[in-house]
Amino acid sequence: MKKGTKKSDKKKTTKIVKIERVNNTKSTKVALVILLALLVVLGVVLYRQNQPKYEGYWCSYQEKATIVVMLKNGYTAAQKQAIEDKIAKYEDVQATGFFSKEEYADEIGVSPDEIELYDAIVVSFTSMDAIGTYVEELTKLDGVEKAEQSYAKAGVELYNIQKWGKYSFADSDEALEEDIIEGKYKEKKGVITFKPNDSKKETKVLYVKDNHLCADPSCKKVYFESDETCSSITAGETEIEE
């Protein structure tokens, strides 16, 4: 009887040990699953924290308008003077210059006889509001071969806000790689501070307002989302109403 009892006790002990091992294995698996879940959640939190709210390109610029008035061959001094008098009456004229076809040919390195060139009056404006009307009026004047308008970006400031607190900055929409400034940025209480890697470069600051990035607290100068060439945006000098 004693021997049988000992064998029975031994079997019971073995079963208990096996059950405990199974339970321990299950507990370990559960713990690993919970740990993995926590790591995933932590990873998502860290990713979101390092995911910039304003990731991408932000640009500001002033759009400059220019009219090139090409004069007919054989135009008279009186006709040229009448054209210049007409231009002088226009608002928002920034500058006016006269260029002979010889001067232009020399500038581009060709002979005046090689391509069709004209003497021209070049007019730049501070506003684009009436450019179309001006072109139509100038085209109708005696001595004018044709008048054409063109546009150019001035004062370009292009930020590329990247992940993990990195950024790049360029002052041209056609900047060369060596001209691009790189560094790190931090956002605190609606102010983004851009610190370049090169200590000789200037630290810049942008302000966050109404989902825009601004050059000043009152948002007189606004940066809009763009691509790497500062395209598909509205001109940068825009005021946001209070």
Q: For position 24, what pLDDT does the model report? A: 58
- pLDDT (0 to 100) of residue 235: 43
The b-or-e profile of 178-203 (16+ CB within 10 A means b, else e) is eeebebebeeeeeebebbbeeeeeee
**Do 70 and 111 belong to one domain?**
yes
CATH for 106:
3.30.70.1150
Asked if residue 5 is part of any domain, the answer here is: no
Domain boundary among 105, 129, 154: 154
Residues 149 and 159 in one domain: no
The answer as to whether 77 is a domain residue is yes
Q: Are residues 148 and 159 in the same domain?
A: no
Splitting the chain (242 residues) into consecutive groups of 10 residues, what average pLDDT does each group show? 53 54 61 65 49 82 89 96 96 91 80 84 89 95 94 88 94 89 94 96 94 91 91 50 46
- At 110 the pLDDT is 80
112 and 195 share a domain? no
Contact 137, 87 (CB under 8 A): no
Q: Is the domain of 101 the same as that of 178?
A: no
Is residue 239 assigned to a domain? no
CATH number for the domain that contains residue 198: 2.40.128
Q: Which residue segment(s) compose the domain that 144 sits in? A: 63-154
φ, ψ of residue 165 in degrees (nearest 5): 70, 20
Residue pLDDT, tens place only, 72-107: 999 999 999 999 999 999 988 999 999 998 887 887
Alpha-carbon distances, residue 227 vs 57, 69, 232 (angstroms): 6, 33, 7
pLDDT recorded at residue 241: 46
Specify if 29 maps to a domain. no
pLDDT of residue 104: 76
Clarify whether residues 110 and 141 are in a common domain.
yes
Residue 45 is predicted with a pLDDT of 46
pTM beyond cutoff 0.85: no
Tell me how many domains the chain contains.
2
Contact assessment for residue 122 and residue 99, using Cβ atoms and an 8 Å cutoff: yes
pLDDT, position 238: 45
- Mark whether 102 and 180 lie in a shared domain: no
Does residue 179 share a domain with residue 106? no
In a domain, 28, yes or no: no
Residue with tokens 């001109």: 235
Q: Which of 154, 177, 201 is the last residue of a domain?
A: 154
Q: Which residues contact 69 (CB under 8 A, 6 or more apart)?
A: 83, 87, 120, 121, 122, 123, 138, 144, 147
Residue 90 lies in a domain: yes
> Is residue 134 located within the same domain as residue 161?
no
Tell me what pLDDT residue 109 has.
Answer: 78
Residue 20 has a pLDDT of: 57
Inter-residue contact 181 to 168 (CB < 8 Å): yes
Of the candidates 175, 139, 178, 135, the one whose C-alpha atom is nearest the C-alpha of residue 159 is 175
The alpha carbon torsion through 173, 179, 180, 183 (nearest 10 deg) reads -150
Q: What is the pLDDT of residue 19?
A: 53
Per-residue pLDDT at 47: 45
In a domain, 100, yes or no: yes
pLDDT value for 242: 46
- Write down the pLDDT at residue 152: 77
Indicate whether 181 and 104 sit together in one domain. no
Quick one: which H or E segment has residue 67? strand 56-71
What's the pLDDT at 67?
A: 94
